[in-house]
Structure 1
Amino acid sequence: MSSVVRPDLPDVAHQSVPLARALDWVGMDNIALPVRIPDGAGGYVQVAANIDLAVNLTRPEERGIHMSRLYLQLQDGLARETITPAGLRKLLQEGIDSQSGIADAARLVVRYEALLQRRALESGFAGWKKYPVEIEAVLREGHLHLALGFAVEYSSTCPASAALSRQANAERFAEDFAAARPLSVNAVRDWLASERGMAATPHAQRSTARVRVELKPQFDELPLVALIDALETALATPVQTAVKRVDEQAFARLNAENLMFCEDAARRVASVLANDPRIARYDATVSHYESLHPHDAVARVSGVNA
């Protein structure tokens, strides 16, 4: 990398410091750069990312950090390194080293959208679904601290609304068949398949589980896809992409089999995160974007794993 140095250009970074003190973090937020993400098959995919990068300023007498060095180091490093624990450690150490002894810790936050292909429930079709991801890495005193955040969308059908709908359906059945003698299976089946056979439907809504986990240091991986898969399995009704009618019917059945208040969904999420050996601590928020109310139903859960 070539550079041009103009010794005649003013540099106020070395002027005296008013109110001198050390600073926790100094750097840049919302840097737009491409990053390399492991593809699970030994290679990588390149995606657009939004990045925060900072170092601490340990010397009170120093007015500021070497900001341009930090940016250029990050840009060059991301062209070489993949977003793995080992790659993140190297990027952070290079950021510290670029500061000529005035920093001893660094923090990096990477935000991007992961695109995962998801198969339909019955038809065999597949489509792409996006998951917002945030990775936070801090290197301090040689120790790397990693946190992984992401969101999963799913459908939630209200148990209370389902119970009320069943009652309305039962009352209409009793009304329509009060005088029917004898009561044949075919007559009941035809009634259930007709518009009269559905007096009410439970309300359902698209919902989101937002998760942040702090990872244990002995695991040299970012288990994004594994955690998404586990949470979608636990919630049982992840939103679909490419669907035919057979898939839509299967999705409706799954919703009927997995009636959920937001509290139920939060417990399902916690059951996955609390039993994952890679996770040291977790925080999750589930939001059900109510179709009945103009407000959302929200539950939060957190925990520390042994």
Structure 2
Amino acid sequence: MHQLNTIPLKKLPSKEERHKLFGSVPPGEKKKPTEKNEMADLQNVKRDFLFDLDVVGVSNVKYPVRVLSGQAPFEQTTVGTFTFSSSIPANSKGTNMSRFMELLEQYHQGGFTVSIDELKQFAKDLAVKLEQTDATVSVSFPWFYERKAPQTYAAGLNHAEASVSVRYSKYEDYQITVSLNVQITTLCPCSKEISEYSAHNQRGNVTVETELEPSFSNTDGDWKGILLEAAESNASARLHPILKRPDEKMVTEAAYENPRFVEDMVRLIAADLYELPAVMKFHVACRNEESIHMHDAIASVTYDKRNRQG
């Protein structure tokens, strides 16, 4: 057997000496107060600071949340990415950032459910805690929903990116904005028209954003499912996690029977949203990842029912 050459271990200085080597120094003399009531509170200084601020707060806050759904799985846990904010007047130096996180942890301990009603209460509680007249809470999260194959009914989970924002104001109605990013299939009408044998199709990315009536609540339905249906029902075909051959035949034939340009998609979805009484304003965008081009095709429409004539 070959004898391994052994290298003697290097003798290292102690951890304290190593820290000194890399710049650590002993603590200096402590002269400032250590009790909270004796510490300066710069954020609460009242003076003329020149301008009111529209938004002050924290963003990119990740926390576990509970999501209720109108379709299976009816209850799920996921990770919410939050933004919390309020406005502040010109005579306020700033806000107390820790209060945003304190309230979030308080709600988390009680089991935070991302629903319109709970977010309304959270925004109101936040304004009170901040001693301001308004507050906004926004959260985005992946939402999962069951999708069954059209003939074999093989089930799996699809997902969409959901987000909701609720603004509370002491002097105005709630402002509620919800959005969903959904993937669908589109088949090119032009390709179908000119080709002898087939038509090219592609995956489309649809973003639906709506402003809801201030009185909208959980009892009015699952907004995620409402927006999902508006997007998917107007596509050439829906996406499925599991497809057997009989299912694939049905899906591809359905796409061929329902060709859609991106322009068609946004107009058809807009029509569905226009007919929903709870929707006050909407923005619909579609981006097709073209299968025969290196570029994408895009279209969008924005409409505010409050500005309509007649």
- Provide TM-score, normalisation by structure 2: 0.79
Q: Could you tell me which of 134, 139, 146 is aligned with 1:105?
A: 134
Q: Deviations over 1:30-55 (max 9, x none)?
A: 101112222348x7432101000001
Q: Could you tell me which of 119, 143, 167 is aligned with 1:88?
A: 119
1:29–1:19 CA distance, 2 compared to 1 (3 A): same
Q: Is 1:263 the counterpart of 2:291 in the alignment?
A: no
CA contact under 8 A between 1:155 and 1:206: conserved in structure 2? yes
Q: Give the partner amino acid of 2:201.
A: A
Q: Is 1:143 the counterpart of 2:173 in the alignment?
A: yes
Q: Give the partner amino acid of 1:37.
A: V
CA contact under 8 A between 2:142 and 2:159: conserved in structure 1? yes
Separation in structure 2 between the aligned mates of residue 147 and residue 129 of structure 1, nearest angstrom: 23
Q: Could you tell me which of 84, 88, 100 is aligned with 1:53?
A: 84
Q: Give the partner amino acid of 2:153.
A: G
Indicate the residue corresponding to 1:161 in structure 2.
191
Q: Deviations over 1:2-49 (max 9, x none)?
A: xx96445554334576743321110001101112222348x7432101
Pairing of 1:1-306 with structure 2 (within 5 A): 6-15=36-45, 19-40=49-70, 44-58=75-89, 60-80=90-110, 81-99=112-130, 101=131, 103-140=132-169, 141=171, 143-166=173-196, 200-221=197-218, 222-305=222-305
Q: Give the partner amino acid of 2:85.
A: A
Cα deviation, residue 158, structure 1 = 1.0
Cα deviation, residue 119, structure 1 = 0.6
Q: How many residue pairs end up in the alignment?
A: 267
Separation in structure 2 between the aligned mates of residue 44 and residue 5 of structure 1, nearest angstrom: 45
CA contact under 8 A between 1:35 and 1:79: conserved in structure 2? no
In structure 1, stretches of 5+ residues that fail to align are 167-199
Cα deviation, residue 234, structure 1 = 2.5
CA contact under 8 A between 2:180 and 2:227: conserved in structure 1? no
SS of 2:174 mapped into structure 1: strand
Q: Give the partner amino acid of 1:144.
A: Y
SS of 1:132 mapped into structure 2: strand
1:22–1:38 CA distance, 2 compared to 1 (3 A): same
SS of 1:241 mapped into structure 2: coil
Deviates more, 1:70-79 or 1:250-259: 70-79
Structure of higher RCO (CA pairs closer than 8 Å, 6+ residues apart): 1
Separation in structure 1 between the aligned mates of residue 179 and residue 48 of structure 2, nearest angstrom: 38
1:5–1:134 CA distance, 2 compared to 1 (3 A): farther
Q: Give the partner amino acid of 2:149.
A: A
Percent of residue pairs bearing the same amino acid type: 23
